[in-house]
Amino acid sequence: MCVSMEKISNLICKETEEAFAACGYDTALAKVTVSNRPDLCEYQCNGAMPLAKKEKKAPIIIAESIKEKLSGNPVFSEVDAVKPGFLNLKLNPEFLADYLTKMSADDRLGCDPVENPKTVIIDYGGPNVAKPLHVGHLRSAIIGESVKRIGRFMGNHMIGDVHLGDWGLQMGLIITELQKRQPELVYFKEDYTGKYPETAPFTISELEEIYPTASKKSKEDEAYKNEAMQATYELQHGRRGYQALLSHILNVSVSDLKKNYERLEVSFDLWKGESDAQPYIPDMVEKMKADGYAYVSDGALVVDVKEESDTKEIPPCMILKSDGASLYNTTDLATIVFRMQDYAPDEIIYVVDKRQELYFTQVFRCAKKTGIVKEDTKLQFLGFGTMNGKDGKPFKTREGGIMRLESLVENTNEEMRRKIIEGGKVAPELVEETSKIISLAAIKYGDLSNQASKDYIFDIDRFTSFEGNTGPYILYTVVRIKSILKKYEESEEDGKDARMAGIEAANSDSEKALMLELAKFNETVENAYYELAPHKICSYIYDLSNAFNRFYHDTPILGEQDEKRRASYIRELNLTKRVLETCIGLLGFYAPERM
Ligand code: ARG
């Protein structure tokens, strides 16, 4: 069932607004926020302070008069006016319980979808073909996946595009190296007109060795590099044999990438790459010239993108180099051209390393100015910081090399496996699967709990801990709830219906605290959505888990003698479980049965 639900803070606001209006005060100042002094109250309204000047009265007098109007209001159990003019509010436990009962009955847990759903392309992942995934790509995948899931949950049409780096010198390097090793391959016969073999002449591990070898050689050997550049040129200008090799490289590489992303619970709707944008470049460039936006400067074709209000220098966007070659931004612009043509998105979000911010400012301005997108198409850059090691420097292997994503995942998994075996709660045949589930949570939560734009330290010991602000701690809480629910269901006939009936008013402080947290779900998800901020969901579920565990330690849940109350506890547990599971689903991981 779906019921439309107002956010609880809005319901509270309605009451304060009425009280403000009844006193003749400006209702715009009646805003209520979650208390920053939870020891004193649950919600607070600070409107009396700014009103004081306007009304020429002491703020406490104003607060007192509002308090009077709120007396007897069924939403509150306590309203206090405290100096200098705060209104401290506590919710009526009955009102709160009713709210949670409605929330339980709603399939969306009280979080309404947006009124006008948008089509949004989200460009994330951004791996480069034939080069192994490294930890730098991890953040884009993790953050992008979560932002996509949150947007989708809010009812938008989210299209995830991996935007492969499949265009450039790396292809020419691979072709050149392959030719040195196996010159007899049919792909290199220039006069060949027949069909090319269906299986690739290399495996993924060979490919991953070929690229770095070729790259190293090209740096030491000028002639080799020229050959690779020539091969790249011929590939890009339609040489059949090379194009057949390119599709082999793509196939082999993409199926390996898919395996890696699957392990991370990351999936894409589109597997487009830079190469898909190439056919759109000539027309796009012609139009930019014809419309008078692109002009030649020092031999290169550029579009000015600076604006009067700029406080720092924004260089022109270079469209073609002086030798006529296109660039990374030409590809990005042409990609926008075909995205608009094929999907007409209202918005495109790029989840990319924050060091590319200036670059994207140029691209976005150029796309707007030259009419590639409409004035109201939103182009958003979600830049993320670097993942560092404990030494504060970009994460490396113990030997100082670039850490591969697979190794990072495997190391974390190993640590988790060790912990699980030590804990002894998981059946031997489930150890492997369980440690995979938990280590994924450890990695993703460790990343997502930081504001995306900040750098963070990958600390395997902390991330895999079952205590503190970690993914495993959240999972542990879910598993704890699952096990209580299971015991209840085994012992009671009506266990299965517990979700459907009402929740009773809180019986203790810790129960009320849990209920207050539960009621913040819709607001939290909405904020995370509008601000592209999965970390807000992390801090919410951390608070919620803490509140739950306090309640759990305080309360003999299954030992409760009053049958009705016991059933109400179970409904709360069910609701807590659903909220936590929905949230971790939005973050891109899930909980095991036991741990
Ligand atoms: N492949 C690029 C890299 O590894 C990231 C691509 C980001 N997306 C984009 N549309 N430019 O740095």
Q: Which tens digits make up the pLDDT trace of 213-251?
A: 999 999 999 999 999 999 999 998 889 999 999 999 999
Structure confidence at residue 130 as a pLDDT band (50, 70, 90): confident
Nearest-CA neighbor of 474 among 420, 375, 545? 545
381 within ligand 1 shell (Cβ under 6 A) = no
Phi, psi of 8 (to 5 degrees): -65, -35
Question: Residue 5 C-alpha to ligand 1 middle, in angstroms?
Answer: 40
1-34: b or e for each residue (b if 16 or more CB lie within 10 Å)?
Answer: eeeebebbbebbbebbbebbeeeebebebbbbee
The pLDDT of residue 237: 86
592 within ligand 1 shell (Cβ under 6 A) = no
**Considering only CA atoms, which residue is closest to atom 10 of ligand 1?**
332
| pTM, 2 dp | 0.95
534 within ligand 1 shell (Cβ under 6 A) = no
> Which is the closest atom of ligand 1 to the Cα of 360?
11
Range with the poorest average pLDDT among 1-15, 274-288, 387-401: 387-401
**Count of alpha carbons within 13 Å of 176, Cβ hemisphere only?**
26
Percent with pLDDT over 70 in the chain: 98
The tokens of 112 are what?
A: 């309404």
The pLDDT of residue 240: 95
Match 């009713």 to its residue by tokens.
98
The pLDDT of residue 499: 47
Question: Residue 319 C-alpha to ligand 1 middle, in angstroms?
Answer: 17
365 within ligand 1 shell (Cβ under 6 A) = no
The pLDDT of residue 325: 86
**Considering only CA atoms, which residue is closest to atom 5 of ligand 1?**
126
Structure confidence at residue 497 as a pLDDT band (50, 70, 90): low
Structure confidence at residue 493 as a pLDDT band (50, 70, 90): low
The pLDDT of residue 168: 87
Mean pLDDT of 561-580: 95
352 within ligand 1 shell (Cβ under 6 A) = yes
pLDDT at 3 over 90: no
Average pLDDT, the chain: 94
Pick the more confident residue, 37 or 498. 37
161 within ligand 1 shell (Cβ under 6 A) = no
578 within 8 A of 586, measured Cβ to Cβ: no
Mean pLDDT of 117-140: 92
163 within ligand 1 shell (Cβ under 6 A) = yes
Question: Residue 309 C-alpha to ligand 1 middle, in angstroms?
Answer: 28
> Which is the closest atom of ligand 1 to the Cα of 335?
10
Rama region for 8: left / alpha / beta (φ>0; ψ in -120 to 50; rest): alpha
Range with the poorest average pLDDT among 219-223, 365-369, 405-409, 588-592: 405-409
Per-residue pLDDT reduced to its tens digit, 45-71: 999 999 998 889 999 999 999 999 999
332 within ligand 1 shell (Cβ under 6 A) = yes
